[in-house]
Structure 1
Amino acid sequence: MKRKSYDEMPCPVAQCLEHIGEWWSMLIIRDAFFGMKRFDEYQKSLGIAPNMLTRRLNDLTESGILEKQKYGESNKRYEYILTQRGMDLAPILIMMLNWGNQHYPPKGVKVNLVNIHTNEIAEPIVIDKKTGEEITLSNYQVKVFEDNT
């Protein structure tokens, strides 16, 4: 069954979902942030079928989120490395981790973001880079502007 495409929707959220909205994709990106690079590492971590993993890796590569690089002696062995576009997903994953901990914490496991200098558990928030103010729905709103370029 082919999923709905959001490619024609004039919405940044829809465009984001077009490239990373499939749930295996986000878990692959998470594993890439944890340092995984090779097909067998992703497959072992996720328990995903090889054909599905191949499709997801190809989609993420075509979207410019991962870069496929040859390794070893064989011309058939590749590593999948996060591009800058992929690295820019870090804040989204951090907020997903935080939201998951607040609303659906895993049973028997505690996963937190920890400051590497203080070893303190972080409390992530989204702030406006210009003002330093926390972005909440009570003090920010979305406005649509026409792009005349």
Structure 2
Amino acid sequence: MDLPGVERRISLPHNVVTLRQRGRIEIGKMKLILITGRTLKQGCSSMLGKDSPDYLEETARAEMNREDLDSRGLKEGDRIKARTDAGVALFTCQEGKVPRGIIFVPYGPLANQLVGTDTQGSGMPSSKGVEVEVEPAEKGLSS
């Protein structure tokens, strides 16, 4: 039942996009959420040494959802620049089985550049849930 002069509202967390805002957002400009983790290849190749070509290649890739790639004009194999409050790193992008809005990066030196050093007293930096801006890397840039 609608009451005159009473506006019905639902309280939302500050980071939720309302329907009214959604129409004004450029999807390709939205930040993604960084999730870092282990992969089989990253784990096995680390045994060869963290300076081995296999390890460096595996930790220099980023998996994104197909829609996130498309909205940014990216295709598999393109170089991307990822930026967080902690730093910037370059990756080769791949289509992955990750939900829209998520970017997955294997643990490694480049992931560390994005995570930063703040441990919030836990002794371990937060490596999941970090907001990240993703854009095509300029031609000729390398990690």
- Relative to total residues, which structure has the larger strand share, 1 or 2? 2
Classify the TM-score, shorter chain.
under 0.3
Q: Please report the TM-score for the alignment, with normalisation by the length of structure 1.
A: 0.25
Q: Which has the higher contact order (CA 8 A, sep 6+)?
A: 2
- Relative to total residues, which structure has the larger helix share, 1 or 2? 1
